[in-house]
Chain A
C-alpha cells in the first residue's frame, strides 16, 4: 500500500470548510431549539392532552421513528415544493430535522414527565397554580433534568445526522466535502478532515449542553446530586 496523503491539496478550500462548519452548526442549533419545543409540547400533549391529541402525537412519533431520515427530508423538501411554496434547501433541511428530532425528543421528555410524581401536580394544584404554570414551574425542569444526558446524546446525533441534508444540497459541511473531493479527487483526505471537524462539532455541542445545564439546573450545580 503506497498511498501518498496530500492534505495540502485541500488547503485552498479552507474557507468553504469553515462555511460548511458554520452552516452545520446553525442548522443544528435551530433544529435543536425548535425540535425541543415541538418535542416537549408533544410530550405534554401525549401525557396530558385530550384523546385526539394523544392519538395524533402517538401516530407522529411512530411514523417518524420507523422511517428513514433521508426519506423524511425528501418528503419535506419536495412535499413543500409540490404544495406550491418555494423554500430554500437550508430551510427545508431545518424543517425536516425538527420534524425528526421532535419525535425522539417527545419520547425522551415523556419519560421525564412520567418521573415527576403525581403528588407534585397535586401540591401545585392546591397552591392555586394553573395547568400551564404547573408545567412551567413545577414539572418541566425536574423532568428535563432527569433525562438531560439522553437529550444531549440525541442532539449530538441530530448534528451528525444533519450531514444527510447534503442530499437536498443544503450547503452544510458534508455537502462542502462532497464538492471538494470531486474537485480535488482527494476523497480520503477530504473525509478525514470532515470527520475530524464533526468530532470537533460534537465536542462543541456537548460543551454547549453542559453550559446550558449549569445555567438551568441550579440545584444540581450547587449540590451536585441527582434529582
Chain B
C-alpha cells in the first residue's frame, strides 16, 4: 500500500492552501517537559504549516500525547517555546480564552456532556463564548452535525449514540467554534474497526477541506494515507520525520521495530 497513488494527497496539492505555504501554524522549539523526575519531552521541535496534516506516532509513553497537550496549553512546559496561531503558549501571560477560539481538540474519551443532547453539546460554546443567540447556535449545530453525517441525531443524548457517533459529535462540537487548528488525541483508540472507519472518514474529509490538523494516532494506514507529515516520537524526542512514505522506508531501527510490531 503506497502513498504515491493517493487521490487525497493529489487533491490537496491542487488547492491554493497547499502544505508548507505561509508561516507555520504551530511551531515547537526545543520543548522540554517532565512530570517530576520523569522526562517526557526531551527537546521536541516541530513545525506544522497551514493546511498540513501532521500525524504523530510512537509507542505508549513516547510523549506524543503530552506534546499534543502542550500545544493546547493543557500542560506547562519547563523549557523551550511553543507558538500556535500567533499565541505564545510558553508565555505565562498567555490569553487562554483567545487561544481556545483558534484551536479545537478532540479526546480519546469523547468527553461529551452527558446531560445535554448532541445539539446542546455543540451549542454551548458558541452561545457562551461567542455570544450567539440560541437560534443562531442551533442552526450552526445542525450544520456541523450534517457535516459529520449526524443531522438526524441532533436530539439524541450521548448515551443513545454509539462510540463512533459520540466521537463525531465531539468533532462537530469543536468545528462549531471554527478553529484554525484541530488536535486529535488518539480519537479512535476506544473504537472498534467499523466505528473507527466512520470517524477517520470525517477526519479525512476535514483534511481534504484544508483544515490544519495534528493527530496522535495508532492508525498507521490512516497516517500513511492522509498525513502530509508523519512524526515518529521515541523517548520524548522527534526520532524521525517524513511523509507517509517514510513508513514504508524507515531510516532508524526504532521506527523499523515500531512498524514491525504494529503489523
Stretch among B7-15, B108-116, B198-206 lining the A interface: B108-116
A137-B128, A223-B159, A227-B115 given; 17 more Cβ-contact pairs under 8 Å: A119-B107, A119-B111, A120-B113, A123-B112, A123-B113, A124-B113, A126-B104, A127-B129, A127-B173, A128-B97, A128-B125, A129-B124, A129-B128, A142-B115, A219-B114, A222-B157, A223-B160
| A167 on interface, CB distance cutoff 8 Å | no
> Within the complex, what minimum Cβ distance (angstroms) separates B151 from chain A?
20
* Interface flag for A7 (CB, 8 Å): no
17 example contacts (A-B, Cβ-Cβ < 8 A) are as follows A122-B74, A122-B107, A123-B107, A124-B113, A125-B100, A126-B72, A126-B74, A126-B103, A126-B105, A127-B124, A127-B125, A127-B177, A128-B128, A130-B97, A133-B128, A225-B159, A227-B115
Whole-angstrom CA separation of A129 from B121 in the bound complex: 12
Q: Across the A-B interface, give the 7 residue pairs with the lowest CB-CB distance, nearest first.
A: A128-B100, A123-B111, A127-B125, A128-B129, A119-B111, A133-B128, A126-B105
Q: Which range holds the interface residue count of chain B? A: 20 to 34
List residues of A (71-130) whose CB comes within 8 Å of B's CBs: 117, 119-120, 122-130
* Chain A residue at minimal CB-CB distance from B74: A122
List residues 183-219 of chain A with CB under 8 A from any CB of chain B.
Answer: 217-219
Question: Which A residues fall within an 8 A CB radius of B?
Answer: 117, 119-120, 122-130, 133, 137-138, 141-142, 145, 217-219, 222-223, 225, 227
- Could you tell me if A217 and B72 are in contact, using CB atoms closer than 8 angstroms? no
**Contact partners of A218 in chain B: CB under 8 A:** 115
List of B residues within 8 angstroms of A124 by Cβ: 113
Q: A119 — which chain B residues lie within 8 A by C-beta?
A: 107, 109, 111
User: Nearest Cβ in chain B — how far from A5, in angstroms?
Assistant: 52
- Whether B101 is near chain A, meaning CB under 8 Å from some CB there, is yes
Q: Is the CB of B129 within 8 A of A129?
A: yes
A99 CB to nearest B CB, Å: 31
Q: CA A11 – CA B113 in complex, angstroms?
A: 55
CB distance from B125 to the nearest CB of A (A): 4
The A interface, classified by DSSP as helix, strand, loop or mixed, is helix
- Complex contacts, A127 vs chain B, CB 8 Å: 100, 124-125, 129, 173-174, 177
Chain A residues with Cβ below 8 Å from B159 are: 223, 225
Kindly list chain B residues whose C-beta atoms are within 8 Å of the C-beta of A142. 113-115
Q: Given the complex, which residues of A lie within 8 Å of B177, measured CB to CB?
A: 127-128
- Residues of chain B within 8 A (CB-CB) of A120 are 111, 113
Q: A127-B177, A128-B125, A129-B124 are in contact. Are A217 and B100 (CB under 8 A)?
A: no
Closest to A136 in B: B128
Chain B residues within 8 Å of A141, by CB: 115
Q: Which residues of A contact B107 (CB under 8 A)?
A: 119, 122-123
Let me know if B74 and A217 touch, CB within 8 A: no
Alpha-carbon gap, A109 to B97, bound state (A): 28
Considering only CB atoms, which chain B residue lies closest to A138 in the complex?
A: B113
Query: Can you name the residue of chain A whose Cβ is closest to the Cβ of B97?
Result: A128
Q: Enumerate B87-131 residues with CB–CB distance to A below 8 Å.
A: 96-97, 100-101, 103-105, 107, 109, 111-117, 124-125, 128-129
The CA-CA distance from A145 to B173 in the complex, in Å, is 24
